[in-house]
Amino acid sequence: MYSQIELRRAAIVGVVAAASGFAVVASAASPAWAQAGGRGAAVALAPSAAMAPRAPACVVAPSEAHFDFPLPRTARRLANGQPIKIVALGSSSTYGAGASTSAASYPSRLAEELARQFPGQEFVVLNRGVSGEEVKDMLARLDSAVLAEKPDLVLWQVGTNSVLRDHALEPHVGLLHEGIARLKATGADVVLIDPQYAPRVIAKPTCDSMVSLIAATAKAEHVGLFHRFELMKHWYETQHLPFETFVSPDGLHMNDWSYGCLAKALGMAIADALKRPTATAGR
């Protein structure tokens, strides 16, 4: 049904309000704009050169855009034609470090992708990424930054900074379960996003263990998992893209191309979950 409606008539509004003070509004009918304010950026955005010249096409296989569990609350709101609010919680790669502008962060690009997937449906996407945070920091601001917004869907990107700092993994198990329980208590759908496949991350000995820990937690909690690590590893090992194509010069953060391709894959996964028969989306 959605494909029969012209994209230019979309009523989506993707509002991205990062903790750094950047506010981005993306709409299907007009380009995004950004306004800086507040306490200033937590991390500098990269220059426009972050977009690699002659960037390859972003090709996403269905297997790379699928959640093992449905998004029942979000699906119900879609079925009823109600606005859908998404909160993106995370650290610098949610905030958009490495992107040329705040409009190139993955939450901003996701708002645009959802406009293409669901013309006429209103979405609000809030960026709650703060550079340098670990899971304990995110839990400390969960009430004010996430729960206060009464989201329908929470995308929780986590794990990278703990790996980079060689912190023990065991405490993350309890903290992740605690955070998911608090989110579920509000009725929100939850999707975890694991670390990025980048030189400074894969050089760490606990990298694979963190990826596995997050996957096991998502499975145990029956929440979605977006396999960012495997998606980016596929770019490198199967598509043979050099790191310079999808990782910023710092060897850690993503860039305009990879944030855009990530958003495309994530948008496809959300669309896949929302378009499943509603009988499989209840809980």
pLDDT, position 81: 95
Provide the pLDDT for residue 4.
Answer: 36
Cβ atoms of 68 and 127 closer than 8 Å: no
Q: What is the pTM of this model?
A: 0.82
Residue written as token pair 């995004």: 32
pLDDT of residue 278: 54
- Rounded-to-integer distance, Cα 156 and Cα 225, Å: 9
Exposed, middle or buried: residue 200 (CB in 10 Å: 0-12, 13-18, 19+)? middle
Strand intervals (E) in 153-214:
153-157, 189-193
Domain 2-29+61-280 has CATH 1.20.1540.10: no
What does the block give as tokens for 118?
């669901």
State CA 276 to chain mean position distance.
21
Mean pLDDT, the chain cut into blocks of 10 residues (283 residues total): 36 40 37 29 42 76 92 97 98 97 97 95 98 98 98 98 97 97 98 98 98 98 98 96 97 98 97 75 39
Question: What pLDDT does residue 279 have?
Answer: 46
Q: What is the pLDDT of residue 36?
A: 26
Helix then strand then coil, % of the chain, to nearest 5: 45, 15, 40
- CA end-to-end distance (rounded Å), the chain: 25
Q: What is the pLDDT of residue 276?
A: 77
Question: What pLDDT, on the 0 to 100 scale, is given for residue 6?
Answer: 35
Determine the pLDDT at residue 53: 56
CA distance 15 to 230: 28
